[in-house]
Amino acid sequence: MRSNSLLHRLISAPEFGPFVLLVGEIVVFTARSPVFLSPGNISNLLAFTPELGMITLGMTLLMTSGEFDLSVGSVFGFAPVMMWTFYNAHITSLEVGFLIAMVMAVAVGFANGWLVTRLKIPSFLVTLGMLLVVRGTALYITDGFPQRTWTSDSALMKVIVGEFSVGGLRIFASLLWFILFAVILGYVLTETKAGNWIQAAGGNPDAARARGVRVTYTKIVLFILTAVISAYAGVTSSIRVSAANPNSGTGYELEVIAMVVIGGTALTGGRGTIIGTVIGVLILRTMRDGIVLVGVPGLAYNIFIGAIILGMMALHSWLERRHHAGT
């Protein structure tokens, strides 16, 4: 059981199953559709993926600490609406509007974290309530209409989601930010003291607290991180599609959580993997893209997503029992 061989460790890693699935998907779609690996299709795939992907990175750390956040989709819609409303109404410059939107996200994250940790309300209820409050605010402020975002030529927009071309691929700067965030948060989770605290807070909060781990503080910081990264992803999206729609991000929370758990992070906390999450994001985005290309009706998409989630959960639970057969 305690074999140290590289192959054994590789196979028993929680990321291994999702990785095989991703490779399988790519092989099948490439074989069945000539355009799947075309630069145009890959460019499309890489345009939106980083935006949803950023949210999953924050959510991975938060879920490892034993909590989750249903308000990410509404913050994704709310933050750009605030930023562009401030700018379009000539109240502030775009940069200041951006900062205001981020500060508001900090406030939302802090409120989530405070309610969950201090009042001990389950994160499901707190963030469900916050989802409605934040979405409602976005709709009320805009009367339900999207904000224009082609009104500015600020350099900030180029930095966030500037477009460039690499060997026939159209790449947005958001992809580089996503990779950077993934590397930083992956490092935090596995290599740092903070990462040890995050895992302990999710695994056994009482034991962690007894050892002097600041569980409450850790969770509040992660709620703030998740809200801020969701706001940033929303701003990215609004600039790329040239509109800040108060309804954008609807339903993202469940897709994000699905991506995270498919990658091998435990819904109950204590165990998380950024690499797995990145694979999980690619699995679902590739599936959504490829399934249409190979001619499966788009409406059947959810059947496949659901099957993937169920299959991966079964796999993770089986691996868990097999490799950590505790007494």
Tell which residue, 104, 112, 101, has the closest CA to residue 70.
112
Query: Could you identify the residue written with the tokens 């807070």?
Result: 201
208 binds other proteins (CB under 8 A): yes
Among the residue ranges 126-134, 203-211, 232-240, 256-264, the one whose residues contact other proteins (CB under 8 A):
203-211
In the list 39, 129, 162, 203, the residue contacting other proteins (rule: CB under 8 A) is 203
Tokens representing residue 222 in the block: 């992660």
The nearest distance, CB 277 to other proteins, in angstroms, is 17
Amino acid letter, 10: L
In the list 209, 241, 293, 301, the residue contacting other proteins (rule: CB under 8 A) is 209
Decide: 133 and 108 in contact? Cβ < 8 Å.
no
278 vs 126: CA distance, rounded Å: 27
119 binds other proteins (CB under 8 A): no
Which residue, 198 or 283, is less far from other proteins as judged by CB?
A: 198
Which residue, 148 or 209, is less far from other proteins as judged by CB?
A: 209
Coil, helix or strand at residue 149: coil
231 vs 235: CA distance, rounded Å: 6
117 binds other proteins (CB under 8 A): no
Tokens representing residue 205 in the block: 């909060």
325 binds other proteins (CB under 8 A): yes
**Number of other residues whose CB lies within 10 A of the CB of residue 218:** 23
112 vs 109: CA distance, rounded Å: 5
Among the residue ranges 32-40, 117-125, 158-166, 263-271, the one whose residues contact other proteins (CB under 8 A):
263-271
Tell which residue, 273, 301, 276, has the closest CA to residue 287.
301
In the list 104, 105, 173, 213, the residue contacting other proteins (rule: CB under 8 A) is 213
210 binds other proteins (CB under 8 A): yes
7 binds other proteins (CB under 8 A): no
44 vs 13: CA distance, rounded Å: 31
5 binds other proteins (CB under 8 A): no
Site string for other proteins, 266-295 (x = CB under 8 A): x---xx------------------------
Decide: 223 and 109 in contact? Cβ < 8 Å.
yes
Among the residue ranges 87-95, 110-118, 185-193, 300-308, the one whose residues contact other proteins (CB under 8 A):
185-193
Total interface residues for other proteins by CB under 8 A: 32
Which residue, 299 or 325, is less far from other proteins as judged by CB?
A: 325
Tokens representing residue 254 in the block: 């469940």
1 binds other proteins (CB under 8 A): yes
Q: Give the contacts of 122 (CB within 8 A, at least 6 positions apart).
A: 116
Decide: 286 and 300 in contact? Cβ < 8 Å.
no
The nearest distance, CB 15 to other proteins, in angstroms, is 16
Q: Which residues bind other proteins (CB under 8 A)?
A: 1-2, 4, 188, 191-197, 199-200, 202-204, 206-213, 266, 270-271, 323-327
